[in-house]
Amino acid sequence: YSVNEGNFWQWDESIRDYIRYMHRHEGYSARYSGALVGDFHRILFQGGVFLYPGTQKKPAGKLRLLYEAAPLAFLAEQAGGLASTGVQPIMNVVPDELHQRVPLVIGSCENVKLVESFIQERARLDQDAIAMTTE
């Protein structure tokens, strides 16, 4: 997997849960160079997943939809992979502005779906907690 773990404490709890999962399971190793295209190239050829999630300061993420995330999403999907914001496919995001930013999860289908499952599970737990406090 490829992610800047220096931002660990700035991410949503769901992404932190996913990274903890990766640390606990054998067969996974982290490689992050800080070069989006270089890291994506390695993911294409060796498999895995690249994440650039939103942070507390930048919930929409850092990468621009129209000229970073969407072009790579197109390539990933053509290669049989997936690209997501974590909640919806990148290619389904309709831009509101030219320089719109989005979180990015991109790589093999299996790995992207695993990240999405952590996001969905955390959302479910948060909804359950809200429901319990309103009862």
Q: Which amino acid is at 33?
A: S
How is the chain split into domains, by residue range? 5-134
**pLDDT of the residue at 133:** 78
Assess whether pLDDT exceeds 90 at residue 121: yes
Q: Tens digits of per-residue pLDDT, 28-49?
A: 899 999 999 999 999 999 999 9
Q: How many CB atoms neighbour CB 128 within 10 A?
A: 10
**pLDDT of the residue at 18:** 97
**pLDDT of the residue at 129:** 80
Classify domain 5-134 at the CATH class level.
alpha beta
Interatomic CA distance for residues 135 and 116, integer angstroms:
29
pLDDT class of 120 with cuts at 50, 70, 90: very high
